[in-house]
A and B are shown apart, each in its own frame.
Chain A
Amino acid sequence: MIISQKKICYTLDMKIKIRYFASFRELIGQGEELLTVADATRVVDIRALLVERNPRLQPIMERSVNALNHRYVPAETVLHENDELVFIPPTGGGQ
C-alpha cells in the first residue's frame, strides 16, 4: 500500500455501496448497504466478509461473479471510495 507522504490522512477508511439482487437480496433481506472498509480492500475481501457475517451466502457466493461500477471485474480488484459492488449470481434460464 502506497500512501502519499504529503497527504494528511485522518483515516484510511472508505465507503463503498453494495447492492443485492435475486437470491442475494432474498438471503440478506435488503437491496443495498453502505460499508465502511479499510483502504485498499479488494473485492475478494468483501466476499469473505459477507460470507463470514452470513454463512448461508456461501453457496451462492461461490457461484457468483463480481461487478464493480457496472463492469465485470476479477476478485482481486482493489476497491475505491464510493465504488458500487454487486455480486452477480448465474444468469440465464431457458434454452
Chain B
Amino acid sequence: MEPIIQLTREPLDRDALVAAVSHPSVGGIVVFEGVVRDNARGKNVRYLEYDVYEEMARQQIATIIEEARQRWSLEHVAVAHRFGRLEIGEASVIIVVATPHRAEAFEACRYLIDTLKSTVPIWKKEVATNGEEWVEG
C-alpha cells in the first residue's frame, strides 16, 4: 500500500491515521505523536510556529519511508506533520507504523521520527515569553 504522507495546517487526526494503516495482516501498530511542550531549555514557551518546504518535505518523507521499507517488513505507514502556529499540547507530528510483528514496528517508527527530524526540511520556531528563535538540532 502507498504510504500516507500528510502536510497540513489543520489539526492532525490520530484516529484516522491509525484506521488508515489497520489491516487484517497487521500484528502490531506503533504510534509516535510529537506534542508541543510549554518549556524548552529553561524558557516558557507560549506557542510554536512550524515552517515547511512542502514539495521537498513530501519527497524526503517518501524517501525515508522507502529506506525503512528496505530494512523492516512494513505493511503500512502514515506520516503526518502539521505546520503554521501550534498551541501547547497540540500534536505537531504523528507517525504510525503497522507491521506483522511488534519489534520492527518500534524500530521502524524510531527510525522514521529520528530521520525525519534530521533530513526533512521542516523548521520549528519557539515563541517564548522572553523572545523567539528558530530551533536547530
Chain A residues with CB under 8 Å of chain B are 19, 21-23, 25, 63, 67, 70-71, 86, 88-94
Contact = CB atoms under 8 A, between A and B. Distances in A.
A67 B53 CA distance: 10
A91 B123 contact: yes
Given A92-B137, A93-B135, A86 B51 contact: no
A93 B124 contact: yes
A84 to B, nearest CB: 9
A21 B123 contact: yes
26 contacts: A19-B53, A21-B53, A22-B123, A22-B134, A23-B123, A23-B134, A63-B136, A67-B56, A71-B56, A71-B59, A86-B53, A86-B121, A88-B53, A88-B121, A89-B134, A90-B136, A91-B136, A92-B117, A92-B118, A92-B135, A93-B117, A93-B123, A93-B135, A93-B136, A94-B34, A94-B135
Contacts of A91: 117-123, 136
Nearest to A84: B55
**Among B51, B59, B122, B125, which residue has the most Cβ atoms of chain A within 10 A?**
B51
Given A19-B53, A88-B53, A94-B34, A67 B121 contact: yes
A89 B52 CA distance: 12
